[in-house]
C-alpha cells in the first residue's frame, strides 16, 4: 500500500485546492453527464490540473455506488474465528505436539498434532471452555464419547484420549486424512451413487451406536469425514451432550426452545439438521438422528438444505412447519425410491418416521442395489415393487430405450401428485395474496431497489393470473419497513395469503428468502431460500412466481405459464433505474415526476427494448399533464406517443394499455370507446391491475353508466384498499348516484388514507349535504399544505356560492380568471360556481369556453351541481357535443 500512496501522491490536492475540487465535483454531479465536460471547461478555466482531477473523480462516482456500503462483517467474523487458533501451533499439550490448525467449528478448533510417544498423527480438538465448565455435562460427554469409541466400528472415529490443559478440555482422536462432507458439498451436490454410499456408511455407524444406546444428536455434514479411500467416518459422538440443556422436561419445552435458538453456539450452525423434537427442546431418541441423516441425504442429493432461513429461528420454524420440496423438484431424475426414503426420514412426527436406523439402512441398501444396473446401462431405472404403480412401471421398463424418458416423467408426476396430496390439506386454491415489500436485510441502500423491485415484479407477474386477486403495489407498500403480522395485514387488505421476504446482496451474491403465510391463522404455508448470483435476479423472480402459484394451488394454462415466464428486461442496470423511477412516480409532485422521467429514460438507455420502462415514462408524462405541471395537452400527447412505443415493443404488456386508457379518458372525452377498449384490454392481460379498473370506472361514470362504474371501482378498491384516490373515486360514483351518505363515509375514509381534498367534486359532496362547516374545515386543513393550489381557491368559491355569498364567490371567479397558466379545469370550475349561484347564462358561457379551448377536464354530467341547468336544452346540446349520452 505504501506504493499506492506514493503513486497517488502527485494528485493529492490539499487545503483550499481541495475545497475547490469538492465544490466543482458536487456542482458537476448536479448536471447531466453530457453537460459536465462543458461545465468544467468553463469553471476550471485554465487550471487544467484541477479539471483533470474533478473529471478523474467523476469517473469513479458511479463505480463507487456500492463500494463500502456494507460493513466489513466478513472480516470481523474471520478474524474472530481465526484469532484463537493462532497461538496454538508449536505448542505441546501433554505428549501431543501441535502441528497446525485443521479447522474450526462450533465445537472448537481441531489441530493436527503428533503423538510424541506413539509417533503417530492425531487430531486434537480443543473444546470451548464454557461448554466444559459444567462438570456434569462434561462427564456425560466423556461417557458417551468413550462408549462410542469402544464400539470399534469402522465408520466411527476412534477416540484416543480426553484430557485437560489449563482450563480447556481437549479430545484426541485418530487423524483422518480427508475432507468433511461440508467441504465436499461446498463444491456442489453429490451424484446419487456416492450420496447413497455416504448415507449407508453413516447409517451403519449410527446403527452400531444406537444399538449401544448412544444417540449422536448432531449429525451434520461437518461431522462426517470422507477419507480419500472412500471410507466415511462419523465424528463427535456424544459431543452434543455438552450443549444440551441439563434435563429437558415437557414443562421446560418452551424455554428450552428459546434457549436453543439464541444461545451462542448451540444452534447457529446446526439448526438446519435438528429434528423437530430437538428444535422444540424435547427429549430426543435415536429417531432424531434418523431425521438429521435425512436432512444430510437431502442436501447431498439436491445440493440444498431442505430447511433454510435467514436466521436460525427462521430455520427452526421451517423445520417445525415447512415441508421441503421433493427431491424431484431439483433433480427430476431422482429415483422415486430415494424420494420415499428421504420423505420418510424427514417426517415431522417421529412416530411416522423410520422407527429404527436399521429400517432406513435396509431401504438404502435396496436403493443402492437398484441403482447399480442403472449405472451400467446409463439409464435412470427404478424397480422397487412397493406400489402397484411402480410395479406396473417396472414391467414396462427395461429393454426399451424410450422407456427411460417415460419413466422419468412418470416418477416426476408421481412425486408431484404425492406432494400435492400429502401437503395440501384442503385442495382448494387460495384466491388472494398480498406480496409485501421485502426487507433489505443488510440495509445496504444500494440494494433497496431489489427489496422493492423483486416483490413488485412478483406482483406484476401474478397480476396476470385470472383466478388470483393480487394486492396492488400501492396498498402493500404501505407496510414497507413495518413489523409485519400476516394476520393483521390479511385482515386489512382482505387477502388469504401474505408473502413476505428478505433480500441480501453482497457484491455479486444475492440471497433471498421468502415466506408464504396463511393470513387466517399466521400459519406458514411455505418458505424458500434462494442463493443466486445477482445477474440471476430475473430468473429467480420467475421461479418465485411459479412456486408461489404452485403453493397457492392454482392451475395454470400453458398460456398463463408463458406469461408468467416473461421478464420485462434482462438488464440489471435498467431494472434498477426503472425501480428507482417507480419509487418516484408513487409520489406525484412535480419534482418526483420529473425524477421518475429521468430514471425511466436512463432505464430505456440501458435497455431500449424495456417496454415497461416506456410505460412508466408515459405514466409520468400524463400525470405531469393531468396535474397541470406542464401544458396538459402536451403531457398527454407525449404520454400517448410513448405508450404506443411501449406497445410496439410488447403488446401483451398491460401497463401501456392503461397509460393509453388514462390519456384517452382524460383527453378525448368525445371518444370513450377508445379509452375503454384500451382499459378492458389491460384488464384482460392483467386482471389485478387496480389502475385499469379505476380509469375504466372513471370513464364509465362520465358516460353516466353509474352501475357499471361502481362495479369497476369496487374491484379497484378491492385490489387497492388503501388507496385514497380510489376511495375518493368510489365516493364520486356514490355522490352521482345521489347516495350522499355513502359518499361522505368513503370521503372520510379517503381523507384518512391520503392527503386531504384533492379533487374538485369533493367539496360538491359536502355542499350537497349542506355541510358547509365541514367543507370549510377540510379546505383550511388542505390550505395549510398547499396554500396556492387553484383547486382550493375554486372550492372556497363553491362554498360561498352554496352559502349564497355572491360577492365573495364572484371574487373567487375573478381570481381564477386571472390565473396565468392554463389549467385543465379552470373554465369548468367557474361554470360550476355560476351554476351553483343559479346564474345559468354565465354557467353555459363558461362551459362553452371550456369546450372550445379543451379546458373542460373531467366532466361528470350527473353531478348534482348541474341540477339547476340540467333541464335546459342548452345542457343537452353541450353533452351531445362532448360525446356524452343525454
Partner 1 sequence: MKTVTPPQCFLAGQNLRRWYNPVRLKLSSASDEVSAMSPSPQQISQLLVAWSNGDQAALDQLMPLVYGELRKMARRYMRGQPAGHTLQTTALIHEAYLKLVGQQEKRWRNRAHFFGVAAQAMRHILVDYARSRQAAKRGGEALEVSLDETALVTQDRAAELVALDDALNDLAEVAPRQSRVVELRYFGGLSAEETAEVLKVSPETILRDWRMAKAWLLRQLQRGTA
Active-site annotation, residues: 218
Q: Which is nearer to partner 1, 59 or 230 (CB)?
A: 59
Q: Do 806 and 832 meet the contact criterion of CB atoms below 8 Å apart?
A: no
Q: How far apart are CA 616 and CA 568, in angstroms?
A: 12
Q: Which of 92, 116, 255, 262 binds partner 1 (CB under 8 A)?
A: 262
Phi-psi region of 62 (alpha: psi -120 to 50; beta: other; left: phi over 0): alpha
Q: 873-881 and 840-853 are packed helices; what angle lies between their axes, rounded to 10 degrees? A: 10
Judged by CB under 8 A, does residue 453 bind partner 1?
Answer: no
299 binds partner 1 (CB under 8 A): no
d(CA 849, CA 838): 18
CA-CA distance, 584 to 592, in Å (whole number)? 5
The piece of 66-74, 409-417, 647-655, 736-744 that touches partner 1 (CB under 8 A) is 66-74
641 binds partner 1 (CB under 8 A): no
- Min dist CB 15 to partner 1, Å, is 8
Per CB under 8 A, does 33 bind partner 1? Answer: no
Minimum distance between the CB of residue 420 and partner 1, rounded to whole angstroms? Answer: 34
Q: Which of 132, 580, 585, 768 binds partner 1 (CB under 8 A)?
A: 580
The residue range among 7-15, 247-255, 355-363, 772-780 that interacts with partner 1, by the rule CB under 8 A, is 7-15
Residue 256 in contact with partner 1, rule: CB under 8 A = no
CB of 303 to partner 1, least distance (A): 16
Shortest Cβ distance from residue 59 to partner 1 (Å)?
8
| Cell numbers that stand for 461 in this block | 407477474
Q: Which residues, in sequence order, are CB contacts of 297 under 8 Å at separation 6+? A: 195, 199, 341, 342, 345
Q: Is residue 193 part of the contact set for partner 1 (CB under 8 A)?
A: no
* C-alpha cell at position 346: 424427514
Q: Find the angle CA(610)-CA(611)-CA(617) to the nearest 5 degrees.
A: 100
240 binds partner 1 (CB under 8 A): no
Conformational region of residue 281, where left means phi above 0, alpha means psi within -120 to 50, and beta covers everything else: left
The least distance separating partner 1 from the CB of residue 688, rounded to whole angstroms, comes to: 27
Query: Does residue number 69 form part of the binding site for partner 1 (CB under 8 A)?
Result: yes
Q: Is 234 in the site for partner 1 (CB under 8 A)?
A: no
The residues that bridge with 511 in the sheet, in sequence order, are 504, 531
Under the binding rule (CB under 8 A), the answer on residue 5 touching partner 1 is yes
Nearer to partner 1 (CB atom), residue 71 or residue 332:
71
C-beta of residue 533 within 8 angstroms of C-beta of residue 511: no
Residue with Cβ nearer partner 1 (89 or 416): 89
Q: Rounded to whole angstroms, what are the CA distances from 470 to 432, 719, 720, 829?
A: 6, 7, 9, 37
Window 93 to 132, contacts with partner 1 (CB under 8 A): 99-106, 112, 128-130
Please give the size of the binding site for partner 1, defined by CB under 8 A: 85
The region of 10-18, 533-541, 637-645, 762-770 touching partner 1 under the rule CB under 8 A is 10-18
In this structure, are residues 591 and 632 in contact, taking their beta carbons and an 8 Å threshold? no
Residue 212 binds to partner 1 (criterion: CB under 8 A): no
Of 42, 48, 188, 264, which lies in the binding site for partner 1, with binding defined by CB under 8 A?
264
Residues contacting 325, CB < 8 A, separation 6+: 419, 528
514-553 residues in contact with partner 1 (CB under 8 A) are none
Greatest Cα pair distance, the chain, in angstroms, is 117
Shortest Cβ 659–partner 1 spacing (Å): 24
Asked if 61 touches partner 1 (CB under 8 A), the answer is yes
Print the SS3 string covering 182-251: HHHHCCCCCCHHHHHHHHHHHHHHHHHHHHCCCCCCCCCHHHEEEECCCCEEECCCCCHHHHCCCCCCHH
Cα 42 to Cα 44: distance, rounded to the nearest angstrom: 6
- Residue count (the chain): 886
CA distance 784 to 297: 66
Per the CB < 8 A criterion, the answer to whether 444 and 570 are in contact is no
How many Cβ atoms from other residues are within 10 Å of residue 115's Cβ? 18
Residue of 3, 48, 421, 559 interacting with partner 1 (CB under 8 A): 3
**Quick one: which of 68, 421, 559, 741 contacts partner 1 (CB under 8 A)?**
68
198 binds partner 1 (CB under 8 A): no
**Which positions from 307 through 326 interact with partner 1, judged by CB under 8 A?**
311, 313
Minimum Å distance from CB 43 to partner 1?
Answer: 16
Cell of 231: 471410507
Q: Does 594 bind partner 1 (CB under 8 A)?
A: yes
Q: Which of 45, 231, 375, 443 binds partner 1 (CB under 8 A)?
A: 443
Distances (CA, A) of 733 to 85, 547, 752, 768, 874: 74, 39, 19, 14, 25
**Position among 49, 76, 405, 777 found at the interface with partner 1 (CB under 8 A):** 76
Between residue 368 and residue 427, which ones bind partner 1 under the rule CB under 8 A?
none
| Residue with Cβ nearer partner 1 (616 or 697) | 616
Residues 558-577 that bind partner 1 (CB under 8 A): 576
Cell numbers representing residue 873 in the block = 336544452
Give yes or no for residue 49 binding partner 1 (CB under 8 A).
Answer: no
**Which range, of 79-87, 423-431, 760-768, 866-874, touches partner 1 by CB under 8 A?**
79-87
Does position 223 interact with partner 1 (CB under 8 A)? The reply is: no
Residue 100, helix vs strand vs coil: strand
Spell out, one character per residue from 458 to 497, where the chain touches partner 1: x when CB under 8 A holds, - when not: -----------------------x----------------
CA angle 443, 446, 451 (to 5 degrees): 65
Work out the angle between the directed axes of helices 192-211 and 286-302 (0-180°, nearest 10).
170
Selected binder of partner 1 within 22, 372, 841, 867 (CB under 8 A): 22
**Interaction between residue 38 and partner 1 (CB under 8 A):** no
Q: Return the number of the residue (79 or 852) whose C-beta is nearest partner 1.
A: 79
| Residues of this chain, 131-170, that bind partner 1 according to CB under 8 A | 133
Please say whether the beta carbons of 237 and 216 come within 8 A: yes
Residue 648, burial from CB neighbour count under 10 angstroms (0-12, 13-18, 19+): exposed
Amino acid at each position: 500500500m505504501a506504493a499506492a500512496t506514493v503513486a497517488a501522491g502527485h494528485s493529492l490536492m490539499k487545503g483550499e485546492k481541495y475545497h475547490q475540487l469538492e465544490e466543482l465535483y458536487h456542482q458537476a454531479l448536479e448536471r447531466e453527464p453530457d453537460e459536465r465536460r462543458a461545465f468544467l471547461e468553463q469553471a476550471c478555466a485554465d487550471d487544467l490540473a484541477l479539471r483533470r482531477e474533478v473529471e478523474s473523480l467523476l469517473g469513479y462516482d458511479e463505480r463507487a455506488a456500492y463500494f463500502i456500503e456494507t460493513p466489513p462483517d466478513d472480516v470481523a467474523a474471520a478474524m474472530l474465528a481465526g484469532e484463537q487458533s493462532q497461538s496454538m501451533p508449536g505448542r505441546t499439550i501433554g505428549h501431543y505436539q501441535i502441528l497446525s490448525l485443521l479447522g474450526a467449528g462450533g465445537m472448537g478448533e481441531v489441530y493436527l498434532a503428533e503423538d510424541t510417544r506413539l509417533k503417530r498423527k492425531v487430531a486434537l480438538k480443543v473444546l470451548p471452555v464454557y461448554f466444559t465448565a459444567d462438570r456434569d455435562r462434561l462427564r456425560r460427554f466423556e461417557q458417551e464419547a468413550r462408549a462410542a469409541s469402544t464400539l470399534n466400528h469402522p465408520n466411527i472415529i476412534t477416540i484416543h484420549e480426553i484430557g485437560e490443559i489449563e482450563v480447556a478440555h481437549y479430545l484426541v482422536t485418530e487423524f483422518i486424512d480427508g475432507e468433511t462432507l461440508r467441504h465436499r458439498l461446498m463444491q456442489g451436490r453429490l451424484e446419487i451413487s456416492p450420496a447413497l454410499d455416504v448415507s449407508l456408511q453413516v447409517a451403519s455407524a449410527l446403527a452400531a451406536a444406537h444399538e449401544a444406546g448412544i444417540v449422536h444428536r448432531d449429525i451434520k455434514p461437518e461431522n462426517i469425514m470422507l477419507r480419500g479411500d472412500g471410507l466415511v467416518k462419523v465424528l463427535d459422538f456424544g459431543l452434543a451432550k455438552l450443549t444440551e440443556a441439563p434435563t429437558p422436561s415437557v414443562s421446560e419445552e418452551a424455554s428450552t426452545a428459546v434457549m436453543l435458538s439464541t444461545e451462542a453456539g448451540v444452534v447457529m450452525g446446526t439448526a438446519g439438521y435438528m429434528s423437530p423434537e430437538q428444535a422444540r427442546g424435547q427429549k430426543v431418541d435415536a429417531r432424531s438422528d434418523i431425521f438429521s441423516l435425512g436432512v444430510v441425504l437431502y442436501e447431498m442429493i439436491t445440493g440444498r438444505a431442505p430447511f433454510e432461513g435467514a436466521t436460525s429461528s427462521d430455520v427452526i420454524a421451517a423445520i417445525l412447519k415447512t415441508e421441503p420440496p421433493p427431491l424431484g423438484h431439483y433433480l427430476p431424475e431422482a429415483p422415486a425410491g430415494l424420494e420415499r426414503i428421504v420423505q420418510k426420514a424427514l417426517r415431522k412426527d417421529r412416530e411416522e418416521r423410520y422407527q429404527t436406523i436399521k429400517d432406513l439402512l435396509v431401504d438404502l441398501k435396496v436403493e443402492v442395489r437398484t441403482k447399480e444396473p442403472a449405472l451400467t446401462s446409463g439409464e435412470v431405472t427404478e424397480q422397487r415393487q412397493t406400489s402397484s404403480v411402480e410395479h406396473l412401471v417396472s414391467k414396462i421398463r427395461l429393454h426399451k430405450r424410450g422407456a427411460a424418458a417415460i419413466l422419468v416423467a412418470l416418477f416426476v408426476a408421481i412425486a408431484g401428485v404425492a406432494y400435492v396430496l400429502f401437503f395440501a390439506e384442503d385442495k382448494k386454491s387460495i384466491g388472494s395474496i398480498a406480496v409485501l415489500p421485502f426487507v433489505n436485510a443488510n440495509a445496504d441502500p444500494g440494494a433497496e431497489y431489489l427489496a422493492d423491485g423483486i416483490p413488485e415484479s412478483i406482483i406484476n407477474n401474478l397480476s396476470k393470473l385470472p383466478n388470483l386477486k393480487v394486492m396492488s403495489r400501492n396498498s402493500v407498500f404501505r407496510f414497507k419497513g413495518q413489523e409485519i403480522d400476516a394476520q393483521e395485514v390479511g385482515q386489512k387488505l382482505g387477502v388469504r395469503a401474505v408473502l413476505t421476504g428478505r433480500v441480501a446482496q453482497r457484491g455479486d451474491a444475492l440471497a433471498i428468502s421468502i415466506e408464504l403465510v396463511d393470513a387466517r391463522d399466521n400459519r406458514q404455508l411455505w418458505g424458500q431460500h434462494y442463493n443466486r448470483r445477482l445477474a440471476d435476479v430475473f430468473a429467480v423472480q420467475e421461479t418465485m412466481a411459479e412456486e408461489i402459484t404452485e403453493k397457492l394451488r392454482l392451475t395454470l394454462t400453458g398460456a398463463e405459464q408463458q406469461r408468467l415466464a416473461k421478464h420485462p428486461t434482462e438488464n440489471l442496470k435498467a431494472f434498477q433505474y426503472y425501480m428507482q423511477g417507480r419509487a418516484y412516480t408513487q409520489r406525484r409532485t412535480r419534482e418526483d415526476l420529473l425524477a421518475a422521467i429521468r430514471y425511466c429514460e436512463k432505464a430505456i438507455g440501458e435497455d431500449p427494448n424495456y417496454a415497461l420502462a416506456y410505460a412508466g415514462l408515459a405514466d409520468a408524462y400524463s400525470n405531469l399533464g393531468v396535474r397541470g405541471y406542464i401544458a396538459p395537452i402536451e403531457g398527454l400527447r407525449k404520454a400517448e406517443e410513448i405508450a404506443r412505443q411501449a406497445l410496439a415493443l410488447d403488446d401483451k404488456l398491460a401497463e401501456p394499455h392503461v397509460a393509453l386508457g388514462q390519456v384517452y379518458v382524460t383527453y378525448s372525452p368525445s371518444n370513450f370507446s377508445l379509452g375503454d377498449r384500451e382499459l378492458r384490454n389491460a384488464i384482460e392481460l392483467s386482471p389485478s391491475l387496480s389502475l385499469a379498473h379505476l380509469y375504466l370506472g372513471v370513464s364509465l361514470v362520465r358516460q353516466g353508466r353509474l352501475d357499471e362504474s361502481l362495479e369497476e371501482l369496487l374491484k379497484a378498491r378491492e385490489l387497492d384498499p388503501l388507496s385514497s384516490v380510489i376511495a375518493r373515486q368510489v365516493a364520486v360514483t356514490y355522490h352521482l348516484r345521489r347516495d350522499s351518505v355513502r359518499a361522505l363515509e368513503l370521503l372520510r375514509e379517503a381523507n384518512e388514507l391520503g392527503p386531504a381534498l384533492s379533487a374538485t367534486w369533493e367539496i360538491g359532496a359536502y355542499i350537497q349535504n349542506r355541510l358547509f362547516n365541514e367543507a370549510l374545515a377540510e379546505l383550511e386543513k388542505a390550505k395549510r399544505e398547499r396554500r396556492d393550489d387553484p383547486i382550493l381557491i375554486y372550492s372556497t368559491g363553491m362554498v360561498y356560492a352554496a352559502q349564497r355569498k355572491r360577492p365573495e364567490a364572484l371574487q373567487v371567479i375573478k381570481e381564477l380568471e386571472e390565473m396565468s397558466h392554463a389549467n385543465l379545469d379552470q373554465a369548468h370550475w367557474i361554470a360550476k360556481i355560476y351554476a351553483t349561484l343559479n346564474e345559468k347564462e354565465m354557467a353555459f358561457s363558461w362551459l362553452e369556453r371550456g369546450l372550445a379551448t379543451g379546458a373542460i377536464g373531467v366532466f361528470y354530467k350527473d353531478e348534482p351541481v348541474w341540477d339547476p341547468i340540467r333541464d335546459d336544452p342548452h345542457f343537452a346540446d353541450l353533452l351531445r357535443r362532448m360525446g356524452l349520452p343525454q
